[in-house]
Amino acid sequence: MSEAGEQPFHREQPFVDEQFDILAWYHSFQSCVRYFLTTAQWDCSVQALAAYLNIQLPFQRTLTHNQPQNYSLLYPRTSSPSPVTPPPGVPHPVTAAHAQQFPPTSILPYIRRLVATGWDYPAILHGFFGDDWERGVKPLQEHERRNYLFAAKSASWLEVKQAYDMGVDETVPFLKPLRQATEEEIRAAEEGWSEWLAMQDWMLGPRAPDQGVDIKEEDEN
């Protein structure tokens, strides 16, 4: 039980690497999702990159499911780059209220695709998720970058590619080594990987190895 007036989610959480205010993060995360739905997906630059990375935007999924014959809305005929007009019944510019007409949308597949293809630049993330991206998306990006390192360490190229494919129509077109990995990031990933190896060996709780001891330390004898 928490003390009177104390918010349990404001404490240090065991599922993150440092003290993390999940309620403050969630507010920024919601802002990023709204921006993605109401602004970014209608921008021609975002549409172009999504097409290049072979991942459908939410409006394309909606049109494909509801109006599969209306390809003019999915791929308008134009001589110059221009944003796609929102589907019938959704005004332009799209408001947060009208964004609710889209089915529940997870932005995690887009973060994963940007990381795996080396397109998770700050400017790109800002273009996809708006001004709150550093507070709302960056924590997810950091975890996905670590997951990508883990995937590369634990599986073959083909298996990693299959893990990042999204069905037959949205396969990842290419994989790139992790973009601009830092020494700090690699060390954190090594520590996380050692913890996972300990998990595989059931070295948990009272059996957890002491800090600084190699998980796979061989018997000296």
Tally Cβ neighbours within 10 Å of residue 159. Answer: 12
Residue 173 placed within a domain: yes
* pLDDT of residue 159 exceeding 60: yes
Residue 93, preceding peptide bond in cis (omega within 30° of 0): yes
Please tell me whether residues 143 and 208 are part of one structural domain. no
User: With contact defined as beta carbons under 8 Å apart, do 102 and 62 qualify?
Assistant: yes
Residue 218 has a pLDDT of 43
**Whether residue 196 sits in one domain with residue 106:** no
The answer to whether residue 133 scores a pLDDT higher than 60 is: yes
> Does residue 81 lie within any of the structural domains?
no
Same domain, 143 and 41: yes
In a domain, 87, yes or no: no
Residue 148 lies in domain: 13-76+93-179
- Kindly state whether residue 56 falls inside one of the protein's structural domains: yes
Residue type, 218: E
Per the structure, the count of domains in the chain is 2
Q: Report if residue 40 sits inside a domain.
A: yes
Indicate whether 137 and 211 sit together in one domain: no
* Residue 66 scores a pLDDT above 80: no
The per-residue pLDDT for 112 is 98
Whether residues 156 and 59 share a domain: the answer is yes
Q: Which residue has the higher pLDDT, 25 or 12?
A: 25
Question: In the prediction, which pLDDT does 215 show?
Answer: 46
Same domain for 160 and 192, yes or no, is no
From CA 190, how far away is CA 207, in angstroms rounded? Answer: 20
Least confident piece of the model among 21-30, 177-186, 208-217: 208-217
SS (H, E, C) 86-128: CCCCCCCCCCHHHHCCCCCCCCHHHHHHHHHCCCCCHHHHHHH
**Which has more pLDDT, 119 or 66?**
119
| 119 shares its domain with 147 | yes
- Residues 204, 101, single domain; the answer is no
Does residue 88 fall inside a structural domain?
no
User: Tens digit of pLDDT for each residue in 78-122?
Assistant: 444 555 555 554 445 555 555 555 668 899 999 999 999 999 999
Sign, Cα dihedral of 31, 102, 98, 75: positive
| 120 and 193 housed in the same domain | no
Domain contains 84: no
Residue 221 lies in a domain: no
Residue pair 20/12 in contact (Cβ under 8 Å)? The answer is yes
Q: Do both 168 and 194 map to the same domain?
A: no
Do 188 and 157 lie in a common domain?
no
Is pTM beyond 0.85 here?
no
pLDDT digits (tens, 9 = 90+) for 34-64: 999 999 999 999 999 999 999 999 999 877 6
pLDDT bucket at 21, cuts 50 / 70 / 90: confident
34, 118: one domain: yes
